[in-house]
Structure formats: structure tokens, C-alpha cells
């Protein structure tokens, strides 16, 4: 009956497929990893109209290591994923982000510094873009086999988090100490 009928007008993503290419290699003391990903598909509203933004996500990442040093970068763009046609026409998008990181490890010690930046273009009249920036400093120490002690310090800044003409901003600092046990 109608309770079990399959309707195509249910507002979901359809015909979604993903592709990925990955490379990992090592040359003497140099290591490199690189990847490229993509996800593509159609979307529709709950009435079956194809007016929501298509899935066209693209991502690229690379990580290079040498001796105890590491450098990494990643970029992802969500394009118009699930963004209504009116919002797209007014300049809105689903956003993008990138992150950069550097690390060093020697013996039982490891430290890293990271930067994360994301941005969503809001439609005209919604104030500026929604931007989030996070700087992180992390340290780890192998106390004993299977036991790692870690500390993290994060500084976050969020601008126009409500995506309105009267912007709401928020800043925060987080300090975390944790233990990780591996059996």
C-alpha cells in the first residue's frame, strides 16, 4: 500500500559516487603521501525538485616527512553541496577549509603545530563570511610501552557564526591533558 510505496520525492542525495587516488612512497629518509578525492551526486528537495546544490566535493592532501620532521597540508572545497538555489544566487556556498601542520619527533617526545582555516560564503545581507581559525600546539611523550601522555593547547576564533547581518563572533582557548593506552 501507500505506506510501503517507494517515492523519489524524499529530499535526499542521489547517484552519489566518490573517487580517490592515493600515492605513498619513500626515498631514503624522505617520505611522501598525496591524495586527491572527489565526491559527486545530485540532490533534490522534499518535493522532488532538483533545486538543492549538487555534491561536488574536491579534496587534496599531501604529507612529507624527513628524519623526525613532518609537514602536511590539506584543502577541501564543498562547493554548493545542499545549498538552496536562492542562497547560491545570493552568493552563498557550502564552504571550504584548509589546514597546515608541522611536527617533530625524537625518541619518546613529539611536538606539532597546526593551523586550520574554514570559510563559508554567506548570501548577500547575511553579514560577512563565516570564518573559523584554529591554531593548535600539541606535545606527546611515550611514558612506557603502550602508554602515551599528551597535552594540547588550541586557540580558536569564529567570526559570524550565526550567518546574519548582526554578526556573532566567538573566541576560545582550550587546554587538554590526556593519556592513551594501547594494548
Q: What does the pLDDT look like over 66-124, one tens digit per residue? A: 999 999 999 998 887 777 777 777 777 878 899 999 999 999 999 999 999 998 888 87
Summarize pLDDT for 146-161 with one digit per residue, the tens: 999 999 999 999 988 8
Distance between CA 173 and CA 24 in Å, rounded?
35
Q: Model pTM greater than 0.75?
A: yes
Please give the share of the chain, as a percent, with pLDDT higher than 90. Answer: 55
Indicate the SS3 state at residue 166: coil
Distance between CA 32 and CA 26 in Å, rounded?
6
Distance between CA 85 and CA 133 in Å, rounded?
28
The CB density around residue 4, as the number of other CB atoms within 10 Å, is 5
Handedness of CA 78, 79, 82, 84 (dihedral sign): positive
Flag whether pLDDT at 167 surpasses 60: yes
- Of the ranges 35-39, 54-58, 129-133, 163-167, which one carries the lowest mean pLDDT score? 163-167
Indicate the SS3 state at residue 98: strand
DSSP H helices in the chain: 85-89
Amino acid at each position: 500500500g501507500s505506506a510501503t510505496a517507494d517515492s523519489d520525492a524524499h529530499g535526499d542525495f542521489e547517484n552519489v559516487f566518490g573517487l580517490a587516488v592515493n600515492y605513498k612512497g619513500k626515498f631514503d629518509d624522505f617520505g611522501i603521501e598525496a591524495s586527491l578525492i572527489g565526491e559527486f551526486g545530485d540532490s533534490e528537495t522534499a518535493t522532488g525538485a532538483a533545486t538543492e546544490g549538487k555534491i561536488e566535493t574536491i579534496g587534496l592532501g599531501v604529507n612529507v616527512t624527513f628524519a623526525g620532521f613532518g609537514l602536511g597540508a590539506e584543502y577541501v572545497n564543498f562547493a554548493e553541496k545542499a545549498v538552496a538555489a536562492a542562497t547560491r544566487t545570493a552568493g552563498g556556498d557550502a564552504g571550504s577549509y584548509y589546514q597546515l601542520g608541522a611536527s617533530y619527533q625524537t625518541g619518546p617526545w613529539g611536538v606539532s603545530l597546526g593551523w586550520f582555516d574554514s570559510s563559508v560564503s554567506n548570501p548577500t545581507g547575511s553579514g560577512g563570511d563565516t570564518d573559523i581559525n584554529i591554531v593548535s600546539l600539541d606535545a606527546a611523550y611515550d611514558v612506557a610501552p603502550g602508554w602515551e601522555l599528551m597535552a594540547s593547547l588550541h586557540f580558536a576564533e569564529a567570526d559570524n557564526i550565526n550567518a546574519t547581518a548582526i554578526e556573532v563572533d566567538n573566541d576560545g582557548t582550550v587546554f587538554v591533558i590526556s593519556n592513551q593506552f594501547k594494548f
